[in-house]
Amino acid sequence: MEQFIATIVIEPRLLVREALVSLMVSHSYQVVGGVASTADIDNSLLASAPRLVLLGPLPADEAAAAANSIRKLWPETKIILLFDHASSANFQMLLASEIDGCIPLFASPDTLVSTLQQIMAADIKVLVLKTETCSMPYPTGGQEEGDELSLAPNNLARSDDAENRAIDRTISHRIPHGLSEREQEILKGVVRGHSNKMIARTCGVTDATIKVHMKSILRKIRVANRTQAAIWALEQGYGADADRRSPALRLLPGVAAA
């Protein structure tokens, strides 16, 4: 990471904003401005061309709209959202937006900084979630579209070494859950963000066949939709061998790699 990274903090609560600014400055980020909302970005900040924008907690639709505005101002800037809680539907909206990473407020400062380093270093999207233990991934099935994902701060209380070991095991540990080779191939396409049409072209089958396979996959891994299937697949390591030339969604279990 460069010695200094030009950063803007957008957070309406002054006390929280100042705390975030202090944290970023202490970790070699050059905070060029702190404002309450995107509407407060003035000409001096426009000229600063920040490499990173840190967004305080916002409802998913407002966060997506704010990210869209920021992307129009600075096309190459990384946009990170801090969140308090979110449903699977919220995550689906956020991951489809211009946001490059979502980090929960209960994350430790070290987790925040290490996640930012990963996002700044690569063309990836990162979503930080909890894991049940440090060593074993778990399926995220059994949730309805509006259910909140289970997030717990105590699952983040571990050292960087432990986190890295957890990431390695998450990537290497796969649970097929009765999936056929074709279904596993389709899951890899979903993780890469490919549409059914692109996956069908790769597999040499029709779109309708992919839809049938997707229904079977959702039933076997016990999730409700495509987004949950992608998250489950990442937890099982299906993103580990994705094409590195394409932007990837990296899931961080507590800190792991959206």
- CA distance linking residue 6 with residue 155, whole number of Å: 31
pLDDT at 213 over 60: yes
Residue range 99-158, pLDDT digits in tens? 988 998 888 888 899 889 888 887 777 777 653 322 222 233 333 333 333 333 333 233
Confidence (pLDDT) at 219:
83
Give buried/exposed letters for 36-61 (b at 16+ CB in 10 A, else e): eebeebeeebeebebbbbbbbbbebe
Domains and CATH numbers, the chain: 5-172 (3.40.50.2300), 181-240 (1.10.10.10)
Q: In Å, how far are 7, 21, 56, 101, 103 from 28, measured between CA atoms?
A: 10, 11, 20, 19, 19
Confidence of residue 70 (pLDDT cuts 50, 70, 90): very high
Mean pLDDT for the chain overall: 74
pLDDT at 46 over 80: yes
Mean pLDDT of 237-255: 50
Mean pLDDT of 187-203: 88
pLDDT at 220 over 60: yes
pLDDT at 253 over 90: no
